[in-house]
């Protein structure tokens, strides 16, 4: 390589930018292939959007990712391999819904809407072709409001957006490709223990925000706390960080990559953690559909008086407005259980991922009409490989997606280094 100052750089086969699930999975795979990987992480901790808090309550509380989605997802399989305790969570049987100020069991409440629900799912599945529409449009076209509308709001919230921001073409694709997600679970020891397991043996430099990546046909030079040079780089910074241009690429990334970064969406995402002296919600409820402002809340532990509100997309931005997220969530709870909620509140924390400079959003989503951009975001570009939840087509916005994408990018980088060596 011919860059000035090259001799002063720390050298590796692969530099990985970001020590979240994607970056660590990539680094581990590269190391296991006998190549030297260095992970550069902007924060002083690893894990990215996996961040377990052990100070808020007497048990691990998740500020970011919380669930292992599905019985055979990659995150769950790895958690079991790591010997972690995997506990069932979010059973629909124990779901509740607040309707007309009263708390009801979710399944009997949903029953009258089942026929229409099945028809909507069929409509979504058969909607794989153009023209695209938003889920909001599809529901309005079928005059499906009421209970189905409530359910759809929760679905869009889970997808990191709202009804008008959710592409039906995307939903159809995820339904066709996606993993089984009905059986949810938590890691009793904390999600970060899974991250630590994946990170074992990886060479990680913390407090090393990457500001520039210079690339040419067969090598990269990366500017962070110091200079690093490598044969290949794996970029795993979140979509929000790519959108913000925090990392300067020299030369700039080609137009298809730029288009993918622009067309995919990254809305704010928020958790509000609340601790009370006692629990106003019914014992045994695994989650509650609350209202339009706060679509879903849940107790992260079955026996503790702690609640997590989970608000994604434009609703998370709305929650920031005065009097602020805590007061807005508490007011929603007061509407159900009265003023005792305010009186019994001991502590609260807002985790606003959209305001976090190293994430700048909750997770990626696909607005209606956006092209199929995840493949373009994932595509290698010279010596640069791309990973992270936003590049996954099976279950984007999950830890499994990030892990899978990291492994995929590692395989690409290893093959490309080996191919160059035989030329």
242 contacts 363 by C-beta, under 8 angstroms: no
Closest CA to 278 of 299, 293, 309, 296: 299
Q: Which of 150, 271, 275, 408 binds ligand FAD (CB under 6 A)?
A: 271
* Interacting positions 283-342 with ligand FAD (CB under 6 A): none
Residue 269 neighbours by CB distance under 10 Å: 29
Q: Least distance to ligand FAD from the beta carbon of 406, Å?
A: 7
Q: Which of 70, 95, 190, 269 binds ligand FAD (CB under 6 A)?
A: 269
In angstroms, the CA 343 to CA 276 distance is: 9
- By CB under 6 A, which span of 16-24, 118-126, 165-173, 301-309 interacts with ligand FAD? 16-24
Q: Least distance to ligand FAD from the beta carbon of 85, Å?
A: 17
> Which residue, 167 or 364, is less far from ligand FAD as judged by CB?
364
Q: Least distance to ligand FAD from the beta carbon of 281, Å?
A: 20
**Parallel, antiparallel, or unpaired for β 37-40 and 10-17?**
parallel
Q: Least distance to ligand FAD from the beta carbon of 362, Å?
A: 4
> Which residue, 191 or 281, is less far from ligand FAD as judged by CB?
191
| Burial profile 63-86: b = 16 or more Cβ within 10 angstroms, e = fewer | bbbbbbbbbebbbbebbeebebeb
Site map for ligand FAD, 346-385, x if CB under 6 A? -------x----xx--xx----------------------
| Burial profile 203-229: b = 16 or more Cβ within 10 angstroms, e = fewer | ebbeebbbeebbbeeebbbbbbeebbb
288 contacts 298 by C-beta, under 8 angstroms: yes
> Which residue, 134 or 308, is less far from ligand FAD as judged by CB?
308
> Which residue, 107 or 350, is less far from ligand FAD as judged by CB?
350
Q: Which of 159, 309, 377, 399 binds ligand FAD (CB under 6 A)?
A: 399
Angle at 205 between CA 204 and CA 208, to 5 degrees: 140
231 contacts 417 by C-beta, under 8 angstroms: yes
Q: Least distance to ligand FAD from the beta carbon of 83, Å?
A: 19
| 3-state SS string for 381-414 | ECCEEECCHHHCCCCCCCHHHHHHHHHHHHHHHH
Q: Least distance to ligand FAD from the beta carbon of 331, Å?
A: 21
| 3-state SS string for 123-186 | HHHCCCCCCCCEHHHHHHHCCCCHHHHHHHHHHHHHCCCCHHHCEHHHHHHHHHHCCCCCCEEE
* Interacting positions 19-78 with ligand FAD (CB under 6 A): 19-23, 40-43, 48-50, 64-67, 69, 75
> Which residue, 151 or 233, is less far from ligand FAD as judged by CB?
233
Residue 94 neighbours by CB distance under 10 Å: 17
Count residues near ligand FAD (CB under 6 A). Answer: 43
Q: Which of 238, 268, 313, 325 binds ligand FAD (CB under 6 A)?
A: 238
> Which residue, 126 or 211, is less far from ligand FAD as judged by CB?
211
> Which residue, 248 or 343, is less far from ligand FAD as judged by CB?
248
Closest CA to 65 of 78, 54, 51, 83: 51
> Which residue, 139 or 362, is less far from ligand FAD as judged by CB?
362
> Which residue, 138 or 190, is less far from ligand FAD as judged by CB?
190
232 contacts 220 by C-beta, under 8 angstroms: yes
Site for ligand FAD contains 190 (CB under 6 A): no
Q: Which of 71, 91, 246, 331 binds ligand FAD (CB under 6 A)?
A: 246
In angstroms, the CA 44 to CA 51 distance is: 12
> Which residue, 60 or 120, is less far from ligand FAD as judged by CB?
60
- By CB under 6 A, which span of 82-90, 124-132, 333-341, 396-404 interacts with ligand FAD? 396-404
> Which residue, 22 or 233, is less far from ligand FAD as judged by CB?
22
Q: Which of 159, 234, 402, 413 binds ligand FAD (CB under 6 A)?
A: 402
- Residues of this chain that interact with ligand FAD (CB under 6 A) are 17-23, 40-43, 48-50, 64-67, 69, 75, 209-210, 236-238, 241, 246-247, 269, 271, 353, 358-359, 362-363, 388-389, 397-402
């Amino acid at each position: 390589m011919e860059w000035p100052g090259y001799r002063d750089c720390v050298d590796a086969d692969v530099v990985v930018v970001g020590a979240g699930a994607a970056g660590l999975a990539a680094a581990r795979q590269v190391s296991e292939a006998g190549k030297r990987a260095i992970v550069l992480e902007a924060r002083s901790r690893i894990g990215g959007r996996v961040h377990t808090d052990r100070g808020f309550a007497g048990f691990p509380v998740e500020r970011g990712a919380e669930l292992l989605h599905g019985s055979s997802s990659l995150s769950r399989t790895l958690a079991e391999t790591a010997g972690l305790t995997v506990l069932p969570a979010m059973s629909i049987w124990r779901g509740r819904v607040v309707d007309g100020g009263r708390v009801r069991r979710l399944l009997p409440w949903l029953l009258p809407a089942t026929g229409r629900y099945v028809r909507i799912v069929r409509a979504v599945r058969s909607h794989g072709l153009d023209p695209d529409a938003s889920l909001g449009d599809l529901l309005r076209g079928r005059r499906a409001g009421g209970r189905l509308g409530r359910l759809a709001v929760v679905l869009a919230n889970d997808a990191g957006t709202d009804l008008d921001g959710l592409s039906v073409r995307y939903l159809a694709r995820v339904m066709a490709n996606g993993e089984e997600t009905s059986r949810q679970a938590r890691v009793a020891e904390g999600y970060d223990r899974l991250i630590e397991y994946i990170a074992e043996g990886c060479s990680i430099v913390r407090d090393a925000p990457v500001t520039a990546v210079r690339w040419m046909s067969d090598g990269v030079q990366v500017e962070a706390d110091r200079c690093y040079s490598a044969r290949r780089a794996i970029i795993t910074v979140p979509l929000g960080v790519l959108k913000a241009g925090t990392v300067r690429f020299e030369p700039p990334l080609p137009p298809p990559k730029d288009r993918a970064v622009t067309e995919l969406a990254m809305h704010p995402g928020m958790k509000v953690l609340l601790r009370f002296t006692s629990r106003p919600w019914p014992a045994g409820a695994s989650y509650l559909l609350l209202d339009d402002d706060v679509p879903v809340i849940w107790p992260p532990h079955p026996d503790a008086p702690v609640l997590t509100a989970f608000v994604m997309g434009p609703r998370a931005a709305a929650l920031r407005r005065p009097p602020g997220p805590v007061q807005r969530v508490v007011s929603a709870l007061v509407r159900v259980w009265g003023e005792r909620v305010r009186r019994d509140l001991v502590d609260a924390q807002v985790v606003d991922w959209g305001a976090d400079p190293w994430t700048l959003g909750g997770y990626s989503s696909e607005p209606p009409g956006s092209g199929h951009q995840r493949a373009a975001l994932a595509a290698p570009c010279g010596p640069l490989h791309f990973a992270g939840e936003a590049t996954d087509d099976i279950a984007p916005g999950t830890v499994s997606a990030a892990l899978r994408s990291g492994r995929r990018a590692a395989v690409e980088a290893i093959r490309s280094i080996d191919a160059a060596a035989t030329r």
